[in-house]
Chain A
Amino acid sequence: MSVPMPFPVSLPMSLPVSLPMSFPMSFPMSFPMSFPMTTEIDLSLLSRRIIIVSGKGGTGKTTVSTALGLAAAAHGRRTLIVEVGPTEHVTPLLDPGGPAAGYAGRELRPGLHVLRIDPFLAVSEYIGLQLGSRGPVDLVLRNRALRQLLDGAPGWRELITLGKIWYLEQSLSPSGAPLFDLIVVDAPATGHGVSFLDVPRVVQSAVRAGPLARNAGLVERLVRDPDKTLLLPVCLAEDLPARETGELIERMRDRVGIAVDRVVINALPARPLPDDLSDIGERLAELPPTLDLCVLPEPPVLTACASYLTSRHALAEHYVGVVAELTGLPLVGLPFVMGGLRQPGALDRISEALLTQPQSPDEAEPAANDRVHR
């Protein structure tokens, strides 16, 4: 069952960077990052068949997958978001309280489908397809001993999940056109993400011949096809995510051989103060610690607020430079959205930013450690 919801087909062109919803009108609240944000649209992402969204846990892979799905559907692509974990995250974001998408999938916006690949169901479907009947499927899945074997055996979940994605990519609608123009995969967190995509190769080196090796080969070719498949790494402008993204891209290039053409940096904080007031923290610190204020906190607290926001902003800019240096790839920055993703318009803003032209950060921005303390 689907719940169609209105989604703007043409996206608004203005791109405000990360701001709390409302602030006194007399004071401008938005100061752009020095990282070049652009409003120039780049639709090259949408020409792929499969985009695998990967990154360290907590960087916002689900957010990016969802926003990408929304953007693709808004541009008229029949889009499928594939979830691979044990719990669904995309469906609750797009349809809070609604039923799970499950293995059969749901259309959550016009042209935007979501499904979750359950490895056991995928195995069952695979066997059924191979044999042309469902009888033996139950024979395998109901057999306790075999379920135990599957429970204990590593690797097959990844392989069957990728196999199902391959199958979905190949699927045609009754008219003969591909069933989906674009498949967005919300992949597991980095460490397991590499293993996830590496499994077809590993299986082929362990299994010498036969249908399993053949199918793994098909999946591997799809993953390595740069015209069809793209890895979209998601990162935060922070230390560990930046490093791990560098390592992820290196390993993905070396071991998996998948195409990568940009890095998404999620949740970039806005510049908290205009340049002429960047010393406001110090000026407040010089005031007497009690000013007999009634709503505003006392100067030391104001100083702490200013110092937190400016330090965090400086750190974010520093790590944008680090990511660019470690990966050598152009970047796409997404704004931090105050108030969560479920508030109206939040995901649309991220979708819009996701489709902007990837940028190389300002060369004037030093990535060296001396600018920000260690």
Chain B
Amino acid sequence: MTRDAAWDALVGDARIVVCVGTGGVGKTTLAASIALEAARRGQRALVLTIDPARRLADALGIGELGNQPRELPPELHRRLGLPDGAHLFAVMLDMKRTFDDLVERLAASEEARQRILANPIYQQLSDALAGSGEYAAMEKVYELLESQRYDLVVLDTPPSQHALDFLDAPRKLLEFIDSRVVKLLVHPALSAGRFGFRLFQGATQRALKLIERLSGIGFLEDISEFLLAFEDMSAGFRDRATRVQSMLLGPEARFVLVAAPSPEAARNAELFLTRLEATRVPISGIAINRTRLWPGGGAPAQGLRCDDATISEALETDLVRLAEALDPDAQPPVEGRHAALAALAVARQYAGLVQLDRDSTSGLRARARRLGVAVRDVPELACEVHDLDGLSLVAVHLFGSDAPDERSAPHRQEV
């Protein structure tokens, strides 16, 4: 396996790596492996997960993941071959806490802070409702980078449909703060003491009245009060959202698309690629996780095709030879024949899986080639990846290694 400049750059000059992709493809694992590789190269690296990835926490020996970064204990460094000065941290996003911290940081006074934290709209917005996690994640990344304590922050994002909201989150928030509706809701309340819809003319007035009628006024009052309370920190918020956005689109950010070799996941990855292109987010690489590769490299022989049930003459010769080898003392080798057929069956079955993965990702691969984006396969292992050795192995496959490594053989026997 060779090194690849595009992948090397992820753990070279990037300060933030964002792993995007649909759910269930292994983003958390790959994000952790990228952070691990950066640590191996002597950096202070941190992985930020969205899920309470308990196995990851166990694997990293850090008990439970929380809102504050925890470091991999030094006694595990040697086992991972981490050089002096390397550090590996993990942290889990706590949306509610992240928003609360932000309010704390930006509120002009204690009173304003209390008003916001007690507002029902704020409580729901920051905690329970879907879709507000994306901004919180970006905010957390910004806070972590700003602390100057990490060379690289690797971010595992929420699953797909929302991951683009996520790229859009700072812009949406800015638009929301700046929107006319917010101004309309806030300023009349300031000047008239209650909804001064009469101050406004035309379509917007009528539309607001309609919303009032359909939703119940209490809701609008809460929104209005929330925005009022929010207003005195909106300049700070706007400034911050702008910086978060430029960090995302800046030269120090890299995006890795994580895909899986199922037809659905590959199709979703292609859709994703299309949308990312449309938003002009450059993709540094595509990792196809858990690809079934043919052991020893290359492709299975034509005669092993899964949809070919016949036993050709050449295959028959092989079976005879294998049966004799497996059952050398019997003549004829009846049991050996049975075993040889079983061997053929597993080979065909596995060849079928290899072909399946190849077929389901061919469109994605062609697309990546046209775009000049590097694709890496992380082979599916016979074992599961949720310990340090598993993560190391994934890192070896992602980044390649200079020396041939016995760990890189697919299907390392573990069970």
Known: A140-B211, A143-B203, A295-B312. A239 touches B306 (CB 8 A): no
Contact of B161 among A56, A153, A188, A291 (CB under 8 A): A188
Contact A239 B55 (CB under 8 A): yes
Contact A210 B161 (CB under 8 A): no
Contact A154 B125 (CB under 8 A): yes
Asked whether B278 is an interface residue with its Cβ less than 8 Å from the other chain, the reply is no
Cβ < 8 Å to A, chain B residues 268-297 = 271, 292, 294-296
Question: Please, which residues of chain B bring their CB within 8 A of the CB of A308?
Answer: 292, 350, 380, 382, 411
Contact B162 A206 (CB under 8 A): no
Min distance, Cβ B383 to any Cβ of chain A, angstroms: 7
Segment of B68-76, B213-221, B367-375, B400-408 in the binding face: B213-221
Cβ < 8 Å to B, chain A residues 76-95 = 85-87, 89
Asked whether A284 is an interface residue with its Cβ less than 8 Å from the other chain, the reply is yes
Segment of B106-114, B242-250, B313-321 in the binding face: B313-321
Segment of A9-17, A24-32, A167-175 in the binding face: A24-32
With CB as the reference atom, state the residue of chain A lying closest to B379: A308
Known: A154-B129, A305-B350. A148 touches B176 (CB 8 A): yes
Segment of B9-17, B21-29, B140-148 in the binding face: B21-29
With CB as the reference atom, state the residue of chain A lying closest to B131: A154
Asked whether B194 is an interface residue with its Cβ less than 8 Å from the other chain, the reply is no
Contact B318 A373 (CB under 8 A): no
Contact B384 A239 (CB under 8 A): yes
Contact of A309 among B160, B217, B350, B414 (CB under 8 A): B350
Cβ < 8 Å to B, chain A residues 1-59 = 20-27, 29, 56-59
Contact A154 B214 (CB under 8 A): no
Question: Please, which residues of chain A bring their CB within 8 A of the CB of B352?
Answer: 20, 338-339
Q: Interface residue count for A (Cβ, 8 Å)?
A: 100
Contact B184 A145 (CB under 8 A): yes
Q: What is the bound-complex CA distance between A371 and B286, given in angstroms?
A: 35
Contact A272 B415 (CB under 8 A): no
Contact of A302 among B22, B24, B180, B347 (CB under 8 A): B347
Question: Please, which residues of chain A bring their CB within 8 A of the CB of B410?
Answer: 304
Contact of B158 among A59, A191, A307 (CB under 8 A): A191
Asked whether A98 is an interface residue with its Cβ less than 8 Å from the other chain, the reply is no
Contact A59 B54 (CB under 8 A): no
Asked whether B386 is an interface residue with its Cβ less than 8 Å from the other chain, the reply is yes
Q: What is the bound-complex CA distance between A130 and B211, given in angstroms?
A: 11
Contact B349 A339 (CB under 8 A): no
Contact A205 B347 (CB under 8 A): no
Contact of A291 among B321, B338, B380 (CB under 8 A): B321
Q: What is the bound-complex CA distance between A188 and B296, given in angstroms?
A: 39
Segment of A100-108, A196-204, A224-232 in the binding face: A196-204
Asked whether B67 is an interface residue with its Cβ less than 8 Å from the other chain, the reply is no
Asked whether B264 is an interface residue with its Cβ less than 8 Å from the other chain, the reply is yes
- From B175, B308, B309, name the one whose CB has the most chain A CB atoms within 10 angstroms: B309
Known: A57-B160, A149-B181, A309-B349. A213 touches B216 (CB 8 A): yes
Min distance, Cβ A265 to any Cβ of chain B, angstroms: 14
Min distance, Cβ B45 to any Cβ of chain A, angstroms: 22
Contact B264 A89 (CB under 8 A): yes
Q: What is the bound-complex CA distance between A308 and B262, given in angstroms?
A: 18
Contact A311 B382 (CB under 8 A): yes
Contact B356 A340 (CB under 8 A): yes
Question: Please, which residues of chain B bring their CB within 8 A of the CB of A198?
Answer: 128
With CB as the reference atom, state the residue of chain A lying closest to B206: A139
Question: Please, which residues of chain B bring their CB within 8 A of the CB of A23?
Answer: 309, 345, 348-349
Known: A140-B210, A148-B179, A283-B326. A189 touches B306 (CB 8 A): no
Contact B383 A373 (CB under 8 A): yes
Known: A199-B130, A202-B124, A206-B124. A311 touches B414 (CB 8 A): yes
Question: Please, which residues of chain B bring their CB within 8 A of the CB of A374?
Answer: 384, 386-387
Contact of B219 among A140, A206, A304 (CB under 8 A): A206
Known: A21-B306, A143-B204, A297-B301. A58 touches B265 (CB 8 A): yes
Contact B264 A296 (CB under 8 A): no
Contact B356 A295 (CB under 8 A): no
Contact A208 B216 (CB under 8 A): yes
Question: Please, which residues of chain A bring their CB within 8 A of the CB of B308?
Answer: 22
Contact A155 B130 (CB under 8 A): yes
Known: A145-B181, A207-B216, A211-B216. A151 touches B129 (CB 8 A): no
Contact B311 A280 (CB under 8 A): no
Q: What is the bound-complex CA distance between A339 and B130, given in angstroms?
A: 36
Contact B344 A27 (CB under 8 A): yes
Question: Please, which residues of chain B bring their CB within 8 A of the CB of A243?
Answer: 54
Q: What is the bound-complex CA distance between A29 and B326, given in angstroms?
A: 20
Question: Please, which residues of chain A bring their CB within 8 A of the CB of B38?
Answer: none
Asked whether A364 is an interface residue with its Cβ less than 8 Å from the other chain, the reply is no
Q: What is the bound-complex CA distance between A148 and B175, given in angstroms?
A: 7
Q: What is the bound-complex CA distance between A188 and B210, given in angstroms?
A: 30
Question: Please, which residues of chain A bring their CB within 8 A of the CB of B307?
Answer: 20-22, 339
Contact B341 A27 (CB under 8 A): yes
Question: Please, which residues of chain B bring their CB within 8 A of the CB of A218?
Answer: none
Contact A152 B179 (CB under 8 A): yes
Question: Please, which residues of chain B bring their CB within 8 A of the CB of A155?
Answer: 124, 129-131
With CB as the reference atom, state the residue of chain B lying closest to A280: B342
Known: A152-B176, A198-B128, A212-B215. A373 touches B322 (CB 8 A): no
Q: What is the bound-complex CA distance between A89 and B161, given in angstroms?
A: 13
With CB as the reference atom, state the residue of chain A lying closest to B217: A210
Min distance, Cβ A224 to any Cβ of chain B, angstroms: 17
With CB as the reference atom, state the residue of chain A lying closest to B326: A283
Asked whether A146 is an interface residue with its Cβ less than 8 Å from the other chain, the reply is yes
Asked whether A134 is an interface residue with its Cβ less than 8 Å from the other chain, the reply is no
Question: Please, which residues of chain A bring their CB within 8 A of the CB of B204?
Answer: 143, 145-146
Q: What is the bound-complex CA distance between A209 and B125, given in angstroms?
A: 19
Known: A206-B120, A207-B216, A211-B215. A307 touches B411 (CB 8 A): yes
Min distance, Cβ B119 to any Cβ of chain A, angstroms: 10
Contact A296 B325 (CB under 8 A): no
With CB as the reference atom, state the residue of chain B lying closest to A340: B263
Contact of A209 among B216, B304, B414 (CB under 8 A): B216
Known: A57-B159, A140-B210. A210 touches B216 (CB 8 A): yes
Selected A-B contacts with CB under 8 Å, 8 pairs: A21-B306, A143-B207, A146-B211, A212-B216, A295-B314, A295-B318, A302-B343, A340-B356
Given contacts A57-B160, A139-B203, A209-B218, list 9 more A-B pairs with CB under 8 A: A57-B25, A58-B265, A195-B130, A212-B216, A240-B24, A277-B339, A305-B346, A311-B382, A374-B384
Nearest 10 A-B pairs (CB), nearest first? A210-B216, A57-B23, A58-B24, A152-B176, A295-B303, A304-B295, A195-B130, A22-B309, A305-B350, A208-B218
Chain B: residues with CB nearer than 8 A to chain A?
A: 22-25, 50-51, 54-55, 120-121, 123-125, 128-132, 158-162, 172-173, 175-176, 179-182, 184, 203-204, 206-207, 210-211, 213-219, 222, 260, 262-265, 271, 292, 294-296, 300-304, 306-312, 314-315, 317-319, 321-322, 325-326, 338-339, 341-353, 356, 360, 380, 382-384, 386-387, 410-411, 413-415
